[in-house]
């Protein structure tokens, strides 16, 4: 198991954002986390990736307990996440964004930057090549030198994906990667996720678009009011009466 969550609980005030959530993610798979709005999906992501501390429970990655670790340390282990609200480095170009994402792939520190310019030059060349590869992979090659803040919404989300990929994830957590996208943009994202999986990266995603979720997932987890109410393959989950109730009850639709 590449990721193991046990008894995750997040409580503040009198509210439980997560209540005793346990699940496992197998390597090389695409797992989706779904549920009505406010079910705790982003909270789960935050806890797994170190952006929030759980009140109780543990998160284990590759056999090591990472609960409560700071976010950048968890990222350094290969767990990289994207954010629900579009998150890019607005004032930088697409290339600069991705270069920043390649931080973990570089090694130059202050000493080298000041005293070993040859090493810096070599690293910059290498990173530039890798950046180009990632930018081309997501299809933003034509916009390489444009400012991130000037990109269209769909392109910004692609850039977000590129930055996350640049960090070299072994487990990629995507928080609503297709939200607000047109049908063709969603198809692009689905295709990218497929290709990412082919490269051996495990994908764990939160999504609302059921067609997308059912189309690419090996496994689906369903959260409702902070509790895990279903865990299985897409077809089984779709038929699960409690899942249907959760969605209809909250007014949301189970079909995209």
Partner 1 sequence: MDQLLQHLLNGLLLGATYSLLGIGLTLVFGLMSVVNFAHGEFYTLGAYAAFAALMVASVHFFLAIPLAIVVGAAAGAVCERGLLRPLRGQSIDTVMLVMIGLWIAMQNAELLGWGGVAKSVPTPFPTQPLVLGPVSVAPLRVFVFVVSAALILGAHLLLARTKLGRAMRATFQDRETAALMGVSIERIHTVTFAFGAGLAAAAGALLGPVFLLYPSMGDLASLKAFSVVILGGLGNFAGAALGGLVLGVAEELGAGYVSSGYRDAVGFLMIVAVLLLRPSGLFARAERVG
Partner 2 sequence: MRAVALLLGLAAAATAPFWVWNPYHLHTLIMAGIFAVLALSLNLLLGYTGQLSLGHAAFFGIGAYATALLTVKLEWSPWIGLLAAVVLPGLAGWVIGRLALKLRGAYFVLLTISFAGCVSLVSVNWMDLTNGPLGLPGVPALEIALPGLPSLSLRTKVAFYYVVLVAVVLAYLVCLALIRSRVGRALVALRENETLAASVGIDGTHYLVLAAVVSAAMAGFGGGLYAHYTRFVSPEVFLFTYTVTMVIMVVAGGKGTLAGPVVGAVLFTVLPEALRAATSWQWQMLLYGILLVAVLFFMPQGIVPALRQLGSGVRRRASAS
For residue 167, the partner it binds in partner 2, partner 1, none, with Cβ less than 5 to 8 A by kind, is partner 2
List the one residue from 53, 117, 133, 239 that touches partner 2 (CB under 8 A).
Answer: 117
Contact in structure between 108 and 120 (CB atoms under 8 Å)? yes
DSSP state of 218: S
Does 97 contact partner 1 by CB under 8 A? no
Q: Which residues inside 23-62 make contact with partner 1, applying CB under 8 A? A: 46, 51-53
**Contacting partner 2 (CB under 8 A), which of 124, 125, 136, 233?**
124
Nearer to partner 2, 109 or 200 (CB): 109
Six-digit token pair at 182? 């047109």
Which C-beta is closer to partner 1: that of 50 or that of 169?
50
163 touches, from partner 1, partner 2, none (C-beta below 5 to 8 Å by class): partner 2
Binding-residue total with partner 1 (CB under 8 A)? 6
Nearest to partner 2 of 15, 110 (CB atom): 110
Q: Does 99 bind partner 2 (CB under 8 A)?
A: yes
Write out the two tokens for 70.
């700071």
Q: Is 67 in the site for partner 1 (CB under 8 A)?
A: no
CA distances from 93 to 69, 90, 127, 150, 159 (A): 31, 8, 15, 9, 10
CA-CA distance, 229 to 107, in Å (whole number)?
Answer: 44
* Phi/psi of residue 66, nearest 5 degrees: -115, 10
Query: If binding is defined by CB under 8 A, does position 13 make contact with partner 1?
Result: yes
Provide, rounded to whole angstroms, the least separation between the CB of residue 71 and partner 2: 4
Cα distances from 212 to residues 29, 94, 227, in angstroms, run 15, 27, 23
State the DSSP string of 86-113: ----TTSBHHHHHHHHGGGG----HHHH
Closest separation between CB of residue 132 and partner 1, Å?
32
**Closest to 27 in 3D by CA, of 220, 204, 166:** 204
Interaction between residue 144 and partner 2 (CB under 8 A)? no
- Site size for partner 2, by CB under 8 A? 42
* DSSP letter (8 states) at residue 38: T
The residues of the shown chain that bind partner 2, judged by CB under 8 A, are 49-51, 70-73, 75-76, 80-83, 87-92, 96, 99-101, 103-104, 106-110, 112-114, 117, 120, 123-124, 127, 163-164, 166-167
């Amino acid at each position: 198991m590449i990721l193991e969550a046990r008894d995750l609980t997040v409580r503040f005030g009198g509210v439980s954002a997560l209540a005793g959530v346990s699940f496992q993610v197998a390597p090389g798979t695409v797992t989706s986390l779904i549920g009505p709005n406010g079910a705790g999906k982003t909270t789960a992501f935050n806890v797994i990736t170190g952006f929030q501390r759980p009140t109780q429970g543990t998160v284990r990655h590759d056999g090591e307990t990472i609960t409560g670790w700071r976010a950048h340390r968890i990222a350094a282990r290969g767990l990289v996440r994207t954010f629900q609200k579009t998150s890019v480095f607005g004032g930088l170009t697409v290339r600069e964004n991705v270069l920043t994402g390649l931080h973990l792939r570089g090694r130059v520190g202050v000493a080298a930057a000041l005293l070993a310019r040859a090493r810096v030059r070599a690293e910059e060349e290498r990173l530039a090549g890798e950046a180009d590869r990632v930018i081309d992979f997501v299809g933003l090659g034509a916009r390489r030198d444009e400012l991130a803040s000037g990109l269209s919404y769909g392109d910004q989300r692609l850039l977000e994906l590129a930055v996350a990929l640049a960090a070299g994830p072994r487990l990629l957590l995507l928080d609503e990667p297709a939200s607000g996208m047109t049908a063709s943009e969603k198809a692009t994202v689905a295709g990218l996720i497929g290709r990412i999986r082919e490269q051996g990266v495990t994908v764990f995603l939160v999504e609302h678009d059921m067609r997308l979720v059912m189309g690419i997932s090996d496994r689906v987890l369903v959260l409702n009011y902070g509790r895990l109410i279903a865990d299985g393959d897409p077809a089984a989950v779709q038929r699960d009466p409690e899942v249907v109730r959760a969605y209809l009850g909250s007014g949301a639709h189970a079909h995209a």
